Amino acid sequence: MKKIKEILDQTNIKPTYERLRIIKYFEENNNHPTINMIYKEVVKDIPTISKTTIYNALNLFVQKGLVLPLVITGTEVRYDRNTKPHHHFLCEKCRKIYDINIECPYFKKGYVDGHKITELHGYFKGTCKECLKKESNFTLSVRLQKRVGEPTR
Ligand SMILES: [Zn+2]
Ligand SMILES: [Zn+2]
């Protein structure tokens, strides 16, 4: 908890109990959460907290560079505690966002087609490895069930 307080002190953010709890959520989950995801967890500890409080805290964190807003899904904002430039993978099945660490040669150079780069946002969409695993287990069990259900001669 002390480390979290230091993070807020460094950025001149008043360390209220709510803000500390939200940062703790980020430290415990590397999951690029939505406001709702944070709310569901934090409300267990602070039953009086509102989504607006979380929204305001996140806005402040974004302004201070503590978290990055990600608009990958197109329908919701996800928040990232990892503010170093990195790519993402969005699973279209489970909506999980994974960090992808690949080096972008243009970002390293700092320029692309003569334009100066300040930020990098790259992402892939598809089916994540966890969902692929589930899918192959599913097809396997369907195949097995079929075999069991086959008429015996
Ligand atoms: Zn998935
Ligand atoms: Zn990320």
- Amino acid, single-letter form, for residue 14: K
- Give whole-number Cα distances, 112 to 106, 117, 120, 121, in Å: 6, 7, 11, 14
Domain endpoint, select from 80, 107, 123: 80
Alpha-carbon torsion 17, 56, 83, 92, what sign?
A: positive
Q: What is the pLDDT of residue 1?
A: 54
Yes or no: say if 68 and 3 are a contact pair by the CB < 8 Å rule.
Answer: no
Predicted confidence (pLDDT) per residue in 84-142, tens digit: 889 999 999 999 999 998 888 888 899 999 999 988 888 999 999 999 999 888 777 77
Q: Calculate how far, in angstroms, residue 23's C-alpha sits from the geometric centre of ligand 2.
A: 15
Q: Does residue 98 share a domain with residue 71?
A: no
115-116 and 97-100 beta bridge pairing: unpaired
> For strand 123-126 and strand 87-91, is the pairing parallel, antiparallel, or unpaired?
parallel
How confident is the model at residue 137, as a pLDDT? 83
122 near 115, Cβ under 8 Å? Answer: no
**0.85 cut: is pTM over it?**
no
Domain boundary among 54, 80, 106: 80
Quote the ligand 1 centre to 133 CA distance (angstroms): 9
> What are the angstrom distances between the C-alpha of 85 and each of 4, 9, 11, 30?
22, 24, 20, 16
In this structure, what is the dihedral angle of CA atoms 81, 87, 92, 95, given to the nearest 10 degrees? -10
Residue that terminates a domain, selected from 80, 105, 130: 80
107 with 69, same domain: the answer is: no
pLDDT in tens, 56-67: 999 999 999 999
From the CA of 81, the nearest ligand is 2
- Indicate if the pLDDT at residue 149 is higher than 70: no
Residue 9 has what pLDDT? 87
Residues that place a CB less than 5 A from ion ligand 1: 91, 93-94, 128, 131
Structural domain including 122 reads 84-153
Q: How far is the CA of 26 from the centre of ligand 2 (A)?
A: 11
* One domain, residues 108 and 66: no
Question: Which residues lie at CB < 5 A from ion ligand 2?
Answer: 80, 82, 99
